[in-house]
Amino acid sequence: QVYDSDCCDSVLLELREYLPKYFGVWSPPTAPNDTYLKLEDVTRKFNKPCIMDVKIGQKSYDPYASAEKIQQQVSKYPLMEEIGFLVLGMRVYHVSSDSYETQNQHYGRSLTKETVKDGISKFFHNGYCLRKDAIAASIQKIEKILEWFEGQKQLNFYASSLLFVYEGSCQATTVRLSDVTLAEKRGVPKGLLSGGDILEYNNNIHVINSTENGKIEASVSKGLSKFYALHKKAYCKRHHSQLSLKVESLEQGNVWKSSTCIAQEHLNGNVIPQLEKVFCHMPAEIKESANVEVRMIDFAHVFPSNTKDEGYIYGLKNLITVLQNILDS
163 in the same domain as 80: yes
More confident call, 241 vs 93:
93
Query: Is the pLDDT score of 278 beyond 90?
Result: no
pLDDT value of residue 201? 35
pLDDT value of residue 171? 58
Residue among 159, 141, 144, 139 at smallest CA distance from 14: 144
151 in the same domain as 21: no
Domain assignment present for 195: no
User: What contacts 24+ positions apart, CB below 8 Å, involve 265-274?
Assistant: 265/241, 267/243, 269/193, 269/194, 269/195, 271/193, 271/199, 271/207, 272/177, 272/178, 272/179, 272/180, 272/183, 272/193, 272/199, 272/201, 273/177, 273/178
Q: Summarize the confidence of residues 269-296 as an average pLDDT.
A: 60
17 in the same domain as 69: no
Q: Summarize the confidence of residues 275-288 as an average pLDDT.
A: 48
CA distance 69 to 158: 13
145 in the same domain as 131: yes
71 in the same domain as 25: no
69 in the same domain as 162: yes
Query: Is the pLDDT score of 168 beyond 60?
Result: yes
Query: Is the pLDDT score of 90 beyond 70?
Result: yes
Q: Summarize the confidence of residues 323-328 as an average pLDDT.
A: 97
81: CATH: 3.30.470.160
Domain assignment present for 103: yes
Domain assignment present for 257: no
More confident call, 256 vs 129:
129
Q: Summarize the confidence of residues 248-269 as an average pLDDT.
A: 40
Q: What percent of the chain has pLDDT over 90?
A: 62
The mean-pLDDT minimum among 77-86, 102-111, 282-291 falls in 282-291
Q: Summarize the confidence of residues 276-284 as an average pLDDT.
A: 50
More confident call, 59 vs 216:
59
Largest Cα–Cα separation, the chain: 74
Output the average pLDDT for the chain: 76
Q: How confident is the model at residue 170 (pLDDT cuts 50, 70, 90)?
A: confident
Q: Summarize the confidence of residues 188-194 as an average pLDDT.
A: 41
N-terminal to C-terminal alpha carbon distance within the chain: 42
310 in the same domain as 167: yes
Query: Is the pLDDT score of 83 beyond 90?
Result: yes
CA distance 141 to 150: 14
154, 306 Cβ separation under 8 angstroms:
yes
47 in the same domain as 35: no
The pLDDT tens digits of the residues spanning 172-185 come to 444 344 444 443 34
pLDDT value of residue 260? 39
116 in the same domain as 16: no
CA distance 98 to 90: 16
| Domain that residue 166 falls in | 43-171+289-328
Query: Is the pLDDT score of 206 beyond 80?
Result: no
The pLDDT tens digits of the residues spanning 31-76 come to 999 999 999 999 999 999 999 999 999 999 999 999 999 999 999 9
Q: Summarize the confidence of residues 251-270 as an average pLDDT.
A: 41
106 in the same domain as 76: yes
The pLDDT tens digits of the residues spanning 108-152 come to 999 999 999 999 999 999 999 999 999 999 999 999 999 999 999
Domain assignment present for 281: no
Domain assignment present for 162: yes
Number of domains in the chain: 2
117 in the same domain as 93: yes
The pTM score is 0.68
271, 295 Cβ separation under 8 angstroms:
no
Query: Is the pLDDT score of 259 beyond 50?
Result: no
140 in the same domain as 52: yes
CA distance 248 to 230: 9
Domain assignment present for 297: yes
